[in-house]
Amino acid sequence: MHSINDAAAVLRNPGFHTATIKPLRADLDRVVKTIAELYAAQDNAALELRGDGLSVAALKLQLRKRHLLPISRRAKLLLKGYPGIEESVRIPHKRGSVQMHVDATKRMTKALRPHAREFIAVGFGKSFLVDCERAARLLKERDANPDTARSRRSRATRSLPDALRDGRAIIASIDAHVNAELGDDSSILAVWRGAKRVPARMGRPPKRRRKPEE
């Protein structure tokens, strides 16, 4: 990416404004813009990804803390001895999946709807079951949203190699014109070669295996 940016910057030098190089420079500028947008999309999605994860976790905690736990524990007191009540108001572990919590909400609200007046009589709001279902639905929708930051980051990551290849192909074409048309100008040539050079990868060089002695 740095070599593509450097090459695009050097090509703004009037010495490179030949009839053949000028349209290629415009193509390279468009690729540079595309690459910058893809990198920005990756960075923004990485930040949003943490937000997405926190939102799902927060919504699940909210469903448990504000709805499922108070309803379940009060149900065991109000409906003690009622057949099947323990299983009907069972809540999954806090590390349980979103779907497990949604299923538990459906099971609980269905079982308790005939007994709603008993809960309202002890202080629960008239819409306590509806509110619980709404919280579960919001959690499910948030978790299942297809346009998540994760998918946007994946799309940007998949698109980057093609954009980088396009940029290098354009630079290769420009390089041919620079050598053909400006090769006699050593200063221009040196600037161009320095800009278009792809930096070597950092790191320890691979070890070469020694051939066994005969």
pLDDT digits 0-9 by tens, 58-96 = 899 999 999 999 999 999 999 999 999 999 999 999 999
Residues, the chain, total? 214
pLDDT digits 0-9 by tens, 135-179 = 999 899 888 775 566 777 788 888 889 999 999 999 999 999 999
Q: How far apart are CA 85 and CA 73, in angstroms?
A: 11
Whether residue 208 lies inside any domain: the answer is no
Whether residue 201 lies inside any domain: the answer is no
User: Over 80: is that where the pLDDT of 203 sits?
Assistant: no
Whether residue 93 lies inside any domain: the answer is yes
Of 99, 76, 81, the residue nearest 90 (C-alpha) = 76
Q: For the chain, what is the mean pLDDT?
A: 86
Q: How far apart are CA 205 and CA 56, in angstroms?
A: 44
The confidence score (pLDDT) of residue 48 equals 63
- Tally of domains in the chain: 1
Whether residue 203 lies inside any domain: the answer is no
Give the predicted TM-score (pTM) of the model: 0.51
Q: How confident is the model at residue 34 (pLDDT cuts 50, 70, 90)?
A: very high
Mean pLDDT of 27-37: 90
Q: Could you tell me what percentage of the chain is helix, strand and coil, using 3-state DSSP and rounding each to the nearest 5?
A: 75, 0, 25
Q: How confident is the model at residue 195 (pLDDT cuts 50, 70, 90)?
A: confident
Q: How confident is the model at residue 47 (pLDDT cuts 50, 70, 90)?
A: low
User: Over 50: is that where the pLDDT of 126 sits?
Assistant: yes
**Structure tokens, 68:** 């499922």
Residue 53's contacts (CB-CB under 8 Å, 6 or more residues apart) are none
Give the DSSP per-residue string, 73-140: HHHHHHTTT-TTHHHHT----TTS-HHHHHHHHHHHHHHHGGGHHHHHHTT--TTHHHHHHHHHHHHH
Whether residue 210 lies inside any domain: the answer is no
Do residues 85 and 105 touch, judged by C-beta distance below 8 A? no
pLDDT digits 0-9 by tens, 168-187 = 999 999 999 999 998 888 88
Q: How far apart are CA 176 and CA 52, in angstroms?
A: 47
Show the domain range for 11: 2-196
Q: How far apart are CA 175 and CA 86, in angstroms?
A: 76
When mean pLDDT is compared across 43-47, 114-118, 129-133, 134-138, the lowest value belongs to 43-47
User: Over 90: is that where the pLDDT of 3 sits?
Assistant: no
Whether residue 30 lies inside any domain: the answer is yes
The confidence score (pLDDT) of residue 214 equals 45
Whether residue 204 lies inside any domain: the answer is no
